Amino acid sequence: MSKQAETVRAENPPATPPSTSPVSSSSSGRMAGEERRRQLVAVAMRVFSERGFRGTTTKEIAQAAGVSEGIIFRHFATKEELYTAIIDYKACTGVSHLNQSVAEAIHCSVAEAIQRKDDRAVFEGVALHLMQHHENDTEFLRLLFYSALEGHQLSQIFWDRNVRLMYEFLGAYIRERQHEGVFRPVDPLVVVRAFSGMLIHHSVTNILWDTSRSLLDISNEAAAREFTEILLRGIAADANAATSSATTTTTTTTQPTRRDPSKRGAAALPTGRAKKKK
Amino acid sequence: MSKQAETVRAENPPATPPSTSPVSSSSSGRMAGEERRRQLVAVAMRVFSERGFRGTTTKEIAQAAGVSEGIIFRHFATKEELYTAIIDYKACTGVSHLNQSVAEAIHCSVAEAIQRKDDRAVFEGVALHLMQHHENDTEFLRLLFYSALEGHQLSQIFWDRNVRLMYEFLGAYIRERQHEGVFRPVDPLVVVRAFSGMLIHHSVTNILWDTSRSLLDISNEAAAREFTEILLRGIAADANAATSSATTTTTTTTQPTRRDPSKRGAAALPTGRAKKKK
DNA sequence: CTCATGTAAGTAAGTACTTACTTTTAACTT
DNA sequence: AAGTTAAAAGTAAGTACTTACTTACATGAG
């Protein structure tokens, strides 16, 4: 009897519990391991997004989840590991039930418009989709900014999986349309930065500063329409443009899309389950 | 994690109050009260901008300032009070030695261009000035975002004194140029949001995510030029526009600056000890 | 001398994380 | 179907350390 507790490690066998249905908590608050684990991550995500990593205590998370503090450390060796687990949780939960990031979902949703080369539909679709997502999942943006400020890798991974991806596919589309003479020659990446700046900054402002919309009250639909209008007019080729006009001021042709092939592997999860590493 | 104190950085700008002899820390580390107070705020600002309010300990600040912890509490009753003191410090230090905020300084710098109605100079000036400021004073942006996430009033004050101000004077300029038929009718506030979105998001990206400029490497001058070009083309009136075109979608002429008198009071940060909340 | 400037050593209430122990569950007997 | 049992799920009370803030006392400039 005395050794019993010793064997209980955070070591969690990946095999799903036996065949019998581990349906959600029956009468008491007790849950199956996997279920509790996922609930903890979900709760932690919310609390971390509200107060940041350093500002959140494990006790708060436990209380929010309705369990004792010790339970957290049965599932996660450290608070850090719980934080990092959000990455995988988000990767599997990002949008719908598929394994795709927000950027991938957006890309898919405008794929048809891209093929039709309907510029307005492409940019307006991206804009609306992104801003809608931010509005429905403010946790995400807060988490993104908190982790960036706190210097956590969470931030870089989210960034790469979303913004960076958007740079790639929007940049490619712009470049294509430039070759067709529809868009004037500007560095496509600058254009993407300008556009994503409008979108992200609009969402961030709504979430962080102008929560009561006292400065600017506009629906996501209208905002998407206006931002798109400004951008498309802003990068449209001159009407009377000859083929090789140097246009106005732009120097154009900075380096073409820099991709980083070494970056994207399978879902990065460096969390070794080994004991502490402090 | 620098264990040793980083020695007393002479954080005092040459504009020390000339009235009473300040005895600027001659030989020993001893300072006059006012001087030390200002030094503490300056150091605290840096540390808070790096780790946030909750993530910063008074011990860290003391070490960074090269004094013992107790000194902080001789000058400030609480850690919170030290944080809030940043507001006044920034208000008096914002730009140059004048009492003006960054937005005011920017406004002044393009005042002449506004009178000349040189659109390109106005927007490019604002852009360059703002991005340059962010690059030289990254503390400011980090502090702004941290305090917004942490729900501190610091954020609202900084926001009102800077961004809100920019909305007012840029919005007014755009409205004027619309009446003159140079810009097409769009809600000026939407235009300002689009433009400031490009600028702020560009700075934020450089500071928080793309610190090595691997995604997009562009000088502030070039960025200001490109962003301005996109915006000006984006809001230019149609060349063949009649006077009373119904145009696209905009409602135009929302009321100029709306202020919300019923702002929420200080709610977020619990004073002193964090009491239990069940 | 005097008093503001400074310090070192507290203090009580957190903090992340552990340990010892109890309860529930579900598979395996009989 | 009922009883046995090993282990997972859960808790409460620690541990060693940190945190914001205090207190008692030293020191040097005017």
Q: What is the per-residue DSSP string for chain B? A: ---S---------S----SS------SSS---HHHHHHHHHHHHHHHHHHHHHHH--HHHHHHHHTS-HHHHHHH-SSHHHHHHHHHHHHHHHSSTTSS--HHHHHHHHTHHHHHHT-HHHHHHHHHHHHHHHHHH-HHHHHHHHHHHHTT-HHHHHHHIIIIIHHHHHHHHHHHHHHHTTSB----HHHHHHHHHHHHHHHHHIIIII-TT-SS----HHHHHHHHHHHHHHHHBPPTT--TT---SS------S----SS---S-SSPPSS-----
The Cα-based distances of A21 to A29, A38, A41, B218 in angstroms read 17, 17, 22, 57
Work out the number of other CB atoms within 10 angstroms of the CB of residue A138.
17
**What is residue A241's predicted lDDT score, i.e. its pLDDT?**
57
Decide if B116 touches A, using CB distance below 8 A: no
Locate the DSSP E strands across A13-139.
none
Question: How many Å apart are CA A237 and CA A234, to the nearest integer?
Answer: 9
Task: State pLDDT tens for residues A193-224.
Answer: 999 999 999 999 999 999 999 999 999 999 99
Of A48, A208, A54, which Cα lies nearest the Cα of B148? A208
- Residue A35 pLDDT greater than 90, yes or no: no
Low-confidence ranges of chain B (pLDDT < 70): 1-31, 92-99, 241-278
Decide if A237 touches B, using CB distance below 8 A: no
3-state secondary structure of A169: helix
Q: Which residue is nearest to nucleotide C19 (CA to C1')?
A: A5
Site of tokens 């102008």: A210
- Residue A4 pLDDT greater than 50, yes or no: no
Q: Which residue is nearest to nucleotide C6 (CA to C1')?
A: B71
Percent of chain A with pLDDT over 70: 72
Question: How many Å apart are CA B106 and CA B166, to the nearest integer?
Answer: 9
Residue B264 near residue B156 (C-beta atoms within 8 A): no
**What is residue A88's predicted lDDT score, i.e. its pLDDT?**
87
Query: How far apart, in Å, do the first and last CA atoms of chain A sit?
Result: 31
Q: Do A51 and B55 touch (CB under 8 A)?
A: no
The Cα-based distances of B108 to B83, B167, B192 in angstroms read 29, 15, 18
In angstroms, the separation between the Cα of residue B11 and the nearest Cα of chain A is 24
Of the candidates A142, A223, A234, the beta carbon closest to that of B231 is on A234
3-state secondary structure of A221: helix
Task: State pLDDT tens for residues A175-195.
Answer: 999 999 999 999 999 999 999
Structure tokens at B264: 């929420």
Site of tokens 């609390």: A47
B33 vs A39 pLDDT, higher one: A39
**What is residue B34's predicted lDDT score, i.e. its pLDDT?**
84
Residue B130 near residue B102 (C-beta atoms within 8 A): yes
B73 burial level (CB within 10 Å; 0-12, 13-18, 19+):
middle
Task: State pLDDT tens for residues A99-127.
Answer: 678 899 999 999 999 999 999 999 999 99
Among A134, A189, A233, A255, which would you mutate to test the B interface (most chain B Cβ atoms within 10 Å of its Cβ)?
A233
B81-90 as b/e, with b when 16 or more CB fall inside 10 Å? ebbbbbbebb
Number of residues in chain A: 278
Q: How far is the CA of A48 from the C1' of D12 (A)?
A: 26
Question: How many Å apart are CA A167 and CA A191, to the nearest integer?
Answer: 9
Of the candidates B142, B235, B260, the beta carbon closest to that of A212 is on B260
Q: Do B149 and A150 touch (CB under 8 A)?
A: no
Question: What φ, ψ does residue B5 adopt, rounded to 5°?
Answer: -65, 140
Q: How far is the CA of B75 from the C1' of D28 (A)?
A: 20
pTM to 2 decimal places: 0.81
Structure tokens at B193: 């949001």
Q: List residues bridging with B160 in a β-sheet.
A: none
**What is residue A98's predicted lDDT score, i.e. its pLDDT?**
58
Q: Which nucleotides of C are covered by protein (CB under 7 A)?
A: 4-10, 13-22, 24-27
Mean of per-residue pLDDT scores for chain A: 80
Q: Do A248 and B258 touch (CB under 8 A)?
A: no
Q: Which nucleotides of D are covered by protein (CB under 7 A)?
A: 7-14, 18-24, 28-30
The Cα-based distances of A140 to A144, A145, A146, B25, B177 in angstroms read 6, 9, 10, 48, 39
Structure tokens at A86: 């959000």
Among B226, B235, B262, B263, which would you mutate to test the A interface (most chain A Cβ atoms within 10 Å of its Cβ)?
B226
Number of residues in chain B: 278
Residue A49 near residue A90 (C-beta atoms within 8 A): no
CA A48 from chain center: how many Å?
Answer: 15
**What is residue A135's predicted lDDT score, i.e. its pLDDT?**
97
Q: Which nucleotide, over all strands, has the C1' atom closest to the CA of B54?
A: D19
| A29 band by pLDDT with thresholds 50, 70 and 90 | low
Question: How many Å apart are CA A30 and CA B37, to the nearest integer?
Answer: 54
Nearest-5° Cα angle at B186, B181 to B188: 95
**What is residue A31's predicted lDDT score, i.e. its pLDDT?**
72
In angstroms, the separation between the Cα of residue B218 and the nearest Cα of chain A is 9
| A33 band by pLDDT with thresholds 50, 70 and 90 | confident
CA A215 from chain center: how many Å?
Answer: 27
Q: Give B 48-87 residues with CB within 8 A of chain A.
A: 51-52, 54-55
**What is residue B36's predicted lDDT score, i.e. its pLDDT?**
87
3-state secondary structure of A183: strand
